[in-house]
Amino acid sequence: MEGPAQPVRSAARPDGGQGAGHPERAGPVTRSAYRAEGRAIGERCLAALRDAGAEQVDADILQPASVLLDLYGEDIRGRAYVTADPLRGEQMLRPDFTVPIVRRHMENGAEPARYTYLGAVFRQQDFDESRATESLQVGYELFDRDTPSADAEVFATIAGLLGDAPLRAATGDIGILRAAVLGLNTTERRKAALLRHLWRPRRFRQLLDRFGGRSPVPAARAALLEQADPMADLPPVMGLRSESEIAIRVAALKEDAAADPISTTELDLIDALLALSETCPNVLVALRDLSVDLPAIGAAVDGLSARLDALGARGVDVDALPFEGSYGRTSMEYYDGFVFGFYAESRPDLPPVATGGRYDALTAVLGGGTGVPAVGGVIRPEVLAELEAGA
């Protein structure tokens, strides 16, 4: 980077006033006013990132769904706008910029590389009609093999652009939880199931309790496993699974039933990891203690320590920076390491003002097995505009 990106604040508020609590604040602010001011904030962020050395890139609004959609995870797959093109096949309105930019970089990019972008992303809203289906994002993506330094650069850059906006920072590390699961003394099949459901905390908990013997085997499954030959009286196959697929599934259920439960000690360690919620230095001490009994997380904990050193070198007050063991588990499923976000505590109704994280595995998928360490973050300038308006 040529220098730190400078804070970018609203030059004029959409309501003409001076923010929350201003006695001369005008009447109701329209969504279009936030959109216009958000665009202005986004343009200033984009210019600051360009000036700091990032290359401005774009991504087509229509993206190949058959190639990219599965990379987003269950939540985004269910909310993407997908259409069929007679020549190009299934297409989708881009739900984010990161995946298409990673695809572009893995095809012809060199490293280290820094990219910035500004544009709309599109996601259906299932529960809140007031949430926009089209929203503006300005982002920063960094491809660099010095992962602690890169994590710190992206976090500090996003924080710097947000300036003194009244926001609460949150951080976590999906990589530590992944390492903990991979280190469990249980079957590979169970580990794979737990990893698939890291992003669905309730389902993850159900599986963990079942694999640890804390909850009973479902009655239908128990009845099936009690049969001498579960395939003997199989009715004509009417569903999506073939007879061979059903046989494979039955064999997997039998293997799981025969496996020893995950030990209470290991279950307690996972629970302790997920329950962590403290400042980063205190969490680091707690994780060092946990790694004595769960050595598989040792390398990931060392990575956290190196990241904190890099953040401190960039002026981040790591002594006050929060860390949550479960943070990031409901965000993008391609995140596999450091994750962070910035939230308006005074406006819990608003979505995160900014989010980001590390996605090394995504680059390997789009690179045909050859990955590059990468991390990025986005700011939602329309949300920042609404917050600054004091609405």
29, pLDDT greater than 60: no
Report the distance separating Cα 292 and Cα 51, nearest Å: 46
pLDDT at 72: 73
Hey, what domains does the chain have and what are their CATH numbers?
31-180+270-379 (3.30.930.10), 214-260 (no CATH)
Beta bridge partners of 113: 143
Residue 373 carries which DSSP code? -
Residue of 226, 175, 179 whose CA lies nearest to 329: 175
Tell me the average pLDDT across 233-255. 61
202, pLDDT greater than 90: yes
**C-beta of residue 90 within 8 angstroms of C-beta of residue 66:** yes
Q: Which amino acid is at 220?
A: A
Instruction: Please classify residue 112 by burial: count the beta carbons closer than 10 Å to its beta carbon, then call 0-12 exposed, 13-18 middle and 19+ buried.
Output: middle
Which tokens go with 39? 């665009």
SS3 content of the chain, % helix, strand, coil (to 5): 45, 15, 40
Q: What is the mean pLDDT of the chain?
A: 84
- At residue 249, the 3 state secondary structure works out as helix
Report the distance separating Cα 137 and Cα 80, nearest Å: 16
Which residues fall in the annotated binding site?
96-98, 123, 137, 141, 329, 334-335
357, pLDDT greater than 80: yes
Torsion of CA 136, 391, 341, 376, to 10 degrees: 20
Q: Is 371 left (phi over 0), alpha (psi -120 to 50) or beta?
A: beta
Tell me the average pLDDT across 78-85. 78
Confidence of residue 135 (pLDDT cuts 50, 70, 90): confident
Residue of 230, 235, 190 whose CA lies nearest to 209: 190
pLDDT digits (tens, 9 = 90+) for 122-133: 877 666 566 677
**C-beta of residue 74 within 8 angstroms of C-beta of residue 200:** yes
Q: What are the φ and ψ backbone dihedral angles of 167, each rounded to 5 degrees?
A: -125, 150
Is-above-0.75 flag for pTM?
yes
Tell me the average pLDDT across 197-213. 93
CA 279 to chain centre: 20
pLDDT at 84: 78
pLDDT at 96: 87
Confidence of residue 11 (pLDDT cuts 50, 70, 90): very low
Confidence of residue 193 (pLDDT cuts 50, 70, 90): very high
330, pLDDT greater than 90: no
Residue with tokens 């600054």: 388
Report the distance separating Cα 122 and Cα 95, nearest Å: 5
Report the distance separating Cα 298 and Cα 290, nearest Å: 9
pLDDT at 50: 97
Confidence of residue 102 (pLDDT cuts 50, 70, 90): very high
Which residues fall in the annotated binding site for L-histidine?
96-98, 123, 137, 141, 329, 334-335
